[in-house]
Amino acid sequence: MLKTTLINAVQAGAAQLQHYFNGNFKISNKEGINNLVTEADHASEREIINIIKQDFPQHFILSEETGELRSDSNVKWIIDPIDGTVNFANGIPICCVSIGIEKDGDMIMGAVFNPFMQEFYFAEKGKGASLNEKSIRVSDKQQVLKSCLVTGFPYTYSDTPNGPIQVFEKLIKKGIPVRRLGSAAIDLCWVAAGRFDGFYEHNLQAWDSAAGFLIVEEAGGKVTDYKGNYYSPYQPHLLATNGKIHDELLAVVNGAPLTQ
């Protein structure tokens, strides 16, 4: 029942993305420059929450735009109605709906759907990860120097040691391709699918990563915070890799030089 409701909710949210895409819709700004929210975000979120509430009215919900709909349930739905809103608002089809389900503090199920590429990613804890119902696995790259990486930059930039720009500069000066797609959920899914070998970001919210980090883990990858601890979506730092380059990339993110 949980899986069915999850799939229905993601698809309903994605239908709103398709309805509004490249159309006329209201756009407003949240904290930070270009931290957008659109009419489509609200429409997607409304459809998603309605479906969850129909099937599981007692469940806890955490959603990007609405915030917390608290309950005493041990099950929490973590929702990003549009991950990649700036892309969406500019007609760039690298955006998605992302929903993770947490039970007793553990992520047990997640789905990410980009309706414009018709890519539906799904994972259930202990049962693997899939793209359009076909099993996916992370890459086999062994070195950061030979990897293809992806990252993101915060809209409210904090100029700290080993910040996003410093790490990015260090990598690209060695000729390492580092992409910036604008959707953390898609970044994570593409690590899971083996398209990227690693993803790091300095400032994420729970709804950005809740589904995607489980999808990476179930595809055989590794996800931690910047201290190398088991990842929690309730802290900002994320490093997700194929596992083979994890320790090396973790050291680089924390200030170590990148060696040949």
Catalytic residue flag (residue 186): no
List the catalytic residue out of 83, 102, 124, 248.
83
**Cα separations in angstroms, 155 against 90, 130, 144, 149, 239:** 16, 31, 27, 20, 19
List the catalytic residue out of 41, 45, 47, 80.
80
Catalytic residue flag (residue 208): yes
List the catalytic residue out of 5, 38, 85, 224.
85
Domain boundaries, the chain: 2-135, 144-253
pLDDT recorded at residue 176: 98
Catalytic residue flag (residue 64): yes
pLDDT, one tens digit per residue, over 239-255 is 999 999 999 999 999 99
Pair of tokens at residue 216: 């990476």
144-253: what CATH class? alpha beta
pLDDT band at 260 (very low <50, low <70, confident <90, very high): low
pLDDT band at 162 (very low <50, low <70, confident <90, very high): confident
Say how far apart CA 231 and CA 209 lie, in whole Å: 10
pTM of the model: 0.95
pLDDT, one tens digit per residue, over 28-62 is 676 656 666 789 999 999 999 999 999 999 999 99
| Phi, psi torsion values for 164, nearest 5 degrees | -55, -40
Contacts of 62 (CB under 8 A, 6+ apart): 68, 69, 76, 77, 78, 79, 206, 207
2-135: what CATH class? alpha beta
List the catalytic residue out of 52, 61, 78, 82.
82
List the catalytic residue out of 41, 64, 65, 124.
64
List the catalytic residue out of 208, 217, 218, 248.
208
pLDDT, one tens digit per residue, over 94-115 is 999 999 999 999 999 999 999 9
Type and span of the H or E element at 19: helix 2-20
Pair of tokens at residue 43: 């429409």
Catalytic residue flag (residue 83): yes
pLDDT recorded at residue 30: 63
pLDDT recorded at residue 91: 96
Residue 67 pLDDT greater than 80, yes or no: yes
Beta-strand pair 198-201/222-224: unpaired
Catalytic residue flag (residue 82): yes
